[in-house]
């Protein structure tokens, strides 16, 4: 190796330019053979460095996101959930302004209908566009925040989550206030309100959330903040797992006798689903306002291209939460 080449290896290590280090010799050969101007050679090596840097960054973001592997839009069957439009979901994966506004995404439906799949697919799409996403089970995050609170660093821990443009809290309904001090969750929602986006999946619509937060006032204040700028998807269909199993004949051979079509729980779930809450597939839409005891219409997505449709869809739904608590 020439002295210049040896020196270059050292400099490129120091500057952390691994792609230039790997490619410069080949590109220099080509440049010498084809008589490139010096600036063309320099631009070529630097472009390669930039492109690989982007790829590495996306890869890092995908790993840190903890998104469920393989849950992509390309393998999500939209025909199984007629209430969810592919065009709307695709718009969400492009960010289309909602992430910058700190707007939220709420997905409701019984177990097995594709909530986690869909929210991970949206997360993956956002990562492709350079956003940072973090997926966690809500109960895991609640535990983590409780530890932080005990150690007097709750604000710092919540602030650390600010680096994620979208924080996905999966399975909110599995959190129970008696298991844990869930006001940390409320603090997180309040901190991110109108700044940083949250996506949330839950088996139960808002009516069941008073099981999650310590009291009705806090539940109402949390719901109020979450829905203020939000897109809501209701996936009130039959469990995809169960449909697939039924198609392959598994239900007949394996589960016969376990699933009772008259039983509200087993008829919407398959063995293996945790905490099945089949009866909670109530239509969503009107939420008791935090400022009075009458139900007020849900303020549906501001950033969403389907705002009109959503407003229409929600207007016929029954009120789910009533309280005269205030925030």
Residue ranges binding Mg ion (CB under 5 A): 116
Q: Please state the separation of Cα 48 from the chain's center in Å.
A: 32
Cβ nearer to ligand ADP, comparing 24 with 240: 240
Report d(CA 212, CA 76) in Å as an integer. Answer: 30
Residue 117 found at the interface with ligand ADP (CB under 6 A):
yes
Q: Residue 81 interacts with ligand ADP (CB under 6 A)?
A: yes
Q: Name the binder of 112 from Mg ion, ligand ADP, none, CB < 5-8 A by kind.
A: ligand ADP
CA separation (Å) from 180 to 145, 146, 172, 225?
A: 11, 8, 13, 22
Note whether 102 binds ligand ADP by CB under 6 A: no
Q: List all residues 6 or more positions away from 313 whose beta carbon is below 8 Å from its beta carbon.
A: 285
- Taking CB under 6 A as the criterion, the residue among 76, 108, 131, 164 binding ligand ADP is 76
Q: What CA–CA distance (Å, rounded) separates 193 from 244? A: 38
Distance in Å, CB of 201 to Mg ion, minimum: 6
Q: Residues binding ligand ADP: what is the number (CB under 6 A)?
A: 17
Say which entry of ligand ADP, Mg ion, none residue 100 contacts (CB below 5 to 8 A, set by partner kind).
none
Cα–Cα–Cα angle for 65, 173, 231, rounded to 5 degrees: 65
Q: Supply the minimum distance, in Å, between the C-beta of residue 120 and ligand ADP.
A: 8
Our CB check for ligand ADP shows the closer of 71 and 177 to be: 71
Tell me how far apart the alpha carbons of residues 34 and 94 are, in angstroms, rounded to a whole number.
41
How would you classify the pairing of strands 286-288 and 295-297? antiparallel
Candidates 21, 71, 177, 229; binder of ligand ADP (CB under 6 A) is: 71
Task: Report, in Å, the least distance between residue 65 CB and Mg ion.
Answer: 16
Residue 112 near ligand ADP by CB under 6 A: yes
The residues in 147-206 that bind ligand ADP, with binding defined as CB under 6 A, are 201
Residue 297 DSSP SS3: strand
- Cα–Cα distance between 185 and 177 in angstroms, integer? 10
Choosing from 31, 116, 146, 301, the residue that interacts with ligand ADP (CB under 6 A) is 116
Task: Select the span of 48-56, 111-119, 178-186, 289-297 touching ligand ADP (CB under 6 A).
Answer: 111-119
Beta bridge partners of 274: none
Q: Which residues bind ligand ADP (CB under 6 A)?
A: 71, 75-77, 80-81, 109, 111-117, 201, 240-241
């Amino acid at each position: 190796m020439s002295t210049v080449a040896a020196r270059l290896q050292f400099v490129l290590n120091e500057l952390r330019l691994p792609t230039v280090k790997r490619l410069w010799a080949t590109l220099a050969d080509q440049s010498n053979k084809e008589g490139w101007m010096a600036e063309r050679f320099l631009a070529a090596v630097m472009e390669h460095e930039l492109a690989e840097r982007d790829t590495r960054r996306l890869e890092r973001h995908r790993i840190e996101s903890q998104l469920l592997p393989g849950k992509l839009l390309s393998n999500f069957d939209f025909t199984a959930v007629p209430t969810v439009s592919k065009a709307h979901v695709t718009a969400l994966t492009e960010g289309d302004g909602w992430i910058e506004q700190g707007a939220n995404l709420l997905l409701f439906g019984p177990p097995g209908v594709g909530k986690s799949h869909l929210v991970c697919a949206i997360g993956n799409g956002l990562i492709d566009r350079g956003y940072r996403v973090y997926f966690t089970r809500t109960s895991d995050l609640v535990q983590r925040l409780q530890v932080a609170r005990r150690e007097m660093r709750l604000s710092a821990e919540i602030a650390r989550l600010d680096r994620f443009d979208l924080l996905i809290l999966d399975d909110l309904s599995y959190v129970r206030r008696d298991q844990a001090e869930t006001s940390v969750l409320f603090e997180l929602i309040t901190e991110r309100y109108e700044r940083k986006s949250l996506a949330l999946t839950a088996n139960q619509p808002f009516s069941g959330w008073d099981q999650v937060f310590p009291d009705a006032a806090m539940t109402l204040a949390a719901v109020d903040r979450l829905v203020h700028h939000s897109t809501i998807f209701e996936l009130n269909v039959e469990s995809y797992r169960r449909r697939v199993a039924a198609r392959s004949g598994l239900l007949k051979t394996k589960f016969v006798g376990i699933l009772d079509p008259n039983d509200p729980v087993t008829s919407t779930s398959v063995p293996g689903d945790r905490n099945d809450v089949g009866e909670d597939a109530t239509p969503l839409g009107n939420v008791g306002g935090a400022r009075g005891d009458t139900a007020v219409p849900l303020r549906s997505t501001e950033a969403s291209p389907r705002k009109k449709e959503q407003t229409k869809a929600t207007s016929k739904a029954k009120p789910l939460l009533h309280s005269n608590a205030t925030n």
